[in-house]
Amino acid sequence: MFFGVESASARLQKEMHKGLKREGVVATIKGLSDLAIASTCSFVIGFPDETSAELSSTIAMGAELKLIGAGMIQFHRLRTWPPAPLSRSRIPARFDVDSLRIEYPFLDVPEADVTAIEADPEFFAGYFAPYTQAGTFAQLANVELFFTQAVAAVPLTMAALGRVMGESLIDSFYTMVARRGAITREEIEADPTSLLPIWRRLRLFLQEWVATHPTLETWHRELVRGVMAYEEQRLMFVNGAVEAEDGLAASGENWAAFLCNVDIAAIFDAMQTGQPLTPALVAESAVVLVRHEMNSYRAYTTDVSHVPDLASHPRLLQAAVN
């Protein structure tokens, strides 16, 4: 099932005739997940009067929807294709070659095509993106690419960042991109076989972003780093990566346990119930990952003192047989 959502002000929401409310979207995604129905949530970003603070909220909401069961989260810049009412409003727009590249199943758009499309804004209006308060054309292209991939690979990390950075999420992202450069489409698409290669390209960016954000408290940084460590172990375990053995406290044929400096189960609960993140969540726990079939797993948490006894746990012995 497909869900289209605007990340716009209340006025623009009304103009687009969506009538969607956050609580209704959350309830619908939870209901679909409970029924094992796959859903895709596609967020439209870059409305003319959208702010970077509003865009920050949109990214955070997308990550949290992923956690409660959405199958895919996508972020797309606004494109005013006729006969949509917004396309007839004559809002200021400019040719956006990054928007054009999305339509191509390969990276190099022929120059002749670029020239022809740029010369005909009337017919190719959808490739002329409107100006927005949320960022420049290049910045919105970076948001679209980076956060679609990041939410797919490490949704809990992105949801935690959304909570601790709040309205500064996007502005601080722009600062990071200006300092160290953006993740490119070539890097992201270099190895599409799993999310692990994408994570490896995102990891250094995220680590520096957390370390240099000017307003995060110490416990914020510790919490996000703990979540990142959990998601890295999860990705390696699910994909059967050799380095998954690194840092493990115990392991068996179809399971692995590692120590984590945050209470992952409590963080998940806080995200799913709308509760705030607190310093108390920075508490050591043991995370147990159990493989059920290829690319399928379940995660459990337990007290660190129980790790030596895991190898004889009945459920883990059964996992080894299966």
pLDDT score of 251: 83
Strand 296-302 versus strand 128-130 pairing type: unpaired
pLDDT number for residue 29: 80
DSSP 254: S
The per-residue pLDDT string of the chain (322 residues; one tens digit each, 9 = 90 and over) reads: 444 454 544 444 444 555 567 777 777 887 877 777 888 888 999 999 999 999 999 999 999 999 988 888 999 888 877 777 776 777 888 888 877 777 665 567 888 988 998 998 888 888 888 889 999 988 998 999 999 999 999 999 999 999 999 999 999 999 999 999 988 877 776 666 788 888 988 999 999 999 999 999 999 999 999 999 999 999 888 887 655 456 688 888 888 899 999 999 999 999 988 899 999 999 999 999 888 766 678 888 888 888 888 888 877 766 554 4
Its pTM stands at: 0.86
- Amino acid identity at 279: P
C-alpha closest to that of 42 among 79, 92, 81: 79
**In the structure encoding, which two tokens stand for residue 290, read together?**
């159990």
In this structure, what token pair is assigned to residue 21? 């409310």
Whether the Cβ atoms of residue 91 and residue 48 lie closer than 8 Å to each other: yes
Q: Which residue in this structure is represented by tokens 């970076």?
A: 142
- Name the one residue in this structure whose structure tokens are 């709040």: 166
Return the ∠ at Cα 43 (arms to 16 and 97), rounded to 5°. Answer: 95
User: Taking CA 73 as the corner, what is the angle to CA 72 and CA 79, rounded to the nearest 5 degrees?
Assistant: 125
Asked if residue 287 lies in contact with residue 309, where contact means CB atoms within 8 angstroms, the answer is no
d(CA 320, CA 290): 9
Report pLDDT for 321: 46
Q: What stretches of the chain adopt beta strand conformation (E)?
A: 2-6, 40-45, 72-77, 93-95, 128-130, 248-251, 255-260, 285-293, 296-302
**Secondary structure (DSSP) of 93-146:** EEE-HHHHHTT-SSS---HHHHHHHHT-TTTTGGGEEEPBTTB-HHHHHHHHHH
Give the three-state DSSP class for 186.
Answer: helix
